[in-house]
A and B are shown apart, each in its own frame.
Chain A
Amino acid sequence: MMNSKDNVATALEELEAGVPATVILPSQAEFKEVTPGKTIATGHKLAVKQISKGDQVVKYGEVIGNATQNIRLGDHVHVHNVMSNRMQMPEVWYREED
């Protein structure tokens, strides 16, 4: 997690589905343990709080988009469930994920 206001964290290594992962703050202090629902690839994000459809998704303490569906704790957070508030990418193959 980059900021204590964030509701997502970034996987520093591949996270296995069902295996609890430790979420740390920039201070290296432990925030909580979260169990990913599915495998999370390195560099991808997972929810560290429940995010309801329409809620803001927060990273670096800033809004990076809004949830397009309900996101559970430990869910993969990416283009399939988050939309930019500013500019949308056209539909191309690599956005067809999950």
Chain B
Amino acid sequence: MNFLGYERPDGSVGIRNLTLVISVADCSEPVARMIAEGQKCAVAITQHYGCIPGQMVANTLIGVGENPNVAAILLIGMGCEGMPAHALAKMIKRSGKPVEWITIQDLGGTRNAVTKGKEILRDLCEKVAGLKRREFDVSELIVGVKCGGSDTSSGLAGNPAVGVFVDMLVDAGGSAIMMEPIEAVGAEEPLGARAVNNRVREKIYKMIGDEEKRWSVPGAQMEFMCKGNVEGGLTTIEEKSLGAIHKSGSRTIKDVLENTDRRLEKVPKGGGLYLQDGTHMEPMAMSFMAAAGAHMVIFVTGCGGTFGHAIIPFIKVTGNPETYRRMSQDMDVNASTILTGDESMESVGKRIFNEVIEVASGKLTLGERLGYDNFSVFRQDPRLEVLLGIDK
């Protein structure tokens, strides 16, 4: 099966043709927004860990710039950052895409930076506007799976239906990644049993064990399940995890992708199912998956989460009939037909597969049509890692 995508200079294939305006720190975010305003081709993003955010944040921004949905990049800096715009530009340029950078200080202030930035952005957008979609095999696709605002319908319908889709994608030669380091606590055995070898099995146990350490520090009040989870009937983290892992389907887990200060490992070529280390918090997890090369994310929700992402489309699936009825304006796929007995799991999985092909070929998701452009990044605190004795 084929989809229509954009070929990038490094041979990767994008499903969107965005020009990304990256403010390297939140201090210059307003300038990035002013530059991107009114330019349909562009989207502005930033990160909120200050101007010396550390290597993990740098890895994420570089990876997002390298993502094949991005055609061209303009980086905006203040000029005095610890993580300068030119350094990120140099790294992203390795992808062969057009990359430019400016700083507000070099250009003599805000108005000058906005004027110059708009000029550069227009040029970048023109440069990539002529790119045309052409056919590529589905094996080029990398799809992330995530759930959030889960209730018991997620484990019974939404997640297993996405699991059917993941099996179909992997069998067709495509790639899938799941990021749920904490929502795997209690589900180590079924996940570990699917590891390709012992080394990967140990990596799965370590990833989950490390996350458990971070979220169960004696004396610290840490909430890791939301109000909606508990009101929706989920009792323990084990129950939530055992439901959450269904969305990874049943195929062999080829590896756990490293995501540390040292490196953010990309999804390798060749297809297959991978776990990625990171965080369970959705918008941040999506940025990690985008940085690893994901084209889009399938999001399963019970209570009805409504968000999106600046560079990767976000297909929302709900298994809860009441949520679909109340929020159909936000839900791309209705999987609640499984619980009402109207449709089989396999049939819903196939519908998700078809939706993925259409969205890959340019169909806008409901979130994209509504203008959702969430972007946030996550940083592990290096001090906590040391204090908890988590070795990398």
* Bound form: Cα–Cα A21–B239 in Å: 23
Which B residues are CB-close (under 8 A) to A84? Answer: 186, 235-238
The answer to whether residues A41 and B233 also contact, given A62-B190, A86-B212, A87-B215 and a CB cut-off of 8 A, is: yes
Interface residue tally for chain B (C-beta within 8 Å) = 34
Interface of chain A residues 73 through 98 with chain B (CB within 8 A): 77-79, 82-90, 92, 94-95
Nearest CB of A to B224, in Å? 7
Whether A12 is near chain B, meaning CB under 8 Å from some CB there, is: yes
Which A residues are CB-close (under 8 A) to B227? Answer: 94
* Bound form: Cα–Cα A85–B235 in Å: 12
Q: Mark A9-32, 1 if CB is under 8 A from B, else 0.
A: 011100000000000000000000
B339 near A12: Cβ-Cβ < 8 Å? yes
Whether A42 is near chain B, meaning CB under 8 Å from some CB there, is: yes
* Bound form: Cα–Cα A60–B302 in Å: 18
Chain B, Cβ-Cβ closest to A76: B233
* Bound form: Cα–Cα A84–B152 in Å: 16
B242 near A64: Cβ-Cβ < 8 Å? yes
B237 near A87: Cβ-Cβ < 8 Å? yes
Nearest CB of A to B199, in Å? 24
Interface of chain A residues 42 through 80 with chain B (CB within 8 A): 42-45, 57, 59-60, 62-65, 77-79
* Bound form: Cα–Cα A95–B155 in Å: 21
Which B residues are CB-close (under 8 A) to A63? Answer: 186, 238
Nearest CB of B to A92, in Å? 7
Tell which of B224, B235, B320 touches A65, judged by Cβ atoms closer than 8 Å. B235
Interface residue tally for chain A (C-beta within 8 Å) = 31
| Residue picked from A11, A57, A64, A83, most chain B C-beta under 10 Å | A64
| Residue picked from A43, A87, A90, most chain B C-beta under 10 Å | A43
7 more A-B contacts (CB under 8 A) besides A65-B235, A86-B237? A10-B152, A43-B233, A59-B242, A63-B238, A84-B186, A88-B216, A89-B223
Residues of chain B whose beta carbon lies under 8 Å from any beta carbon of chain A: 151-153, 155-156, 185-187, 189-190, 212, 215-216, 221-225, 227, 230-233, 235-239, 242-243, 302, 320, 322, 339
Q: List 23 A-B contacts (CB under 8 A).
A: A10-B233, A43-B302, A44-B152, A57-B235, A59-B242, A60-B155, A60-B243, A62-B189, A63-B238, A64-B235, A64-B238, A78-B230, A79-B235, A83-B236, A84-B236, A85-B186, A86-B212, A86-B216, A87-B237, A88-B216, A89-B223, A90-B222, A92-B223
Residues of chain A whose beta carbon lies under 8 Å from any beta carbon of chain B: 2, 10-12, 41-45, 57, 59-60, 62-65, 77-79, 82-90, 92, 94-95
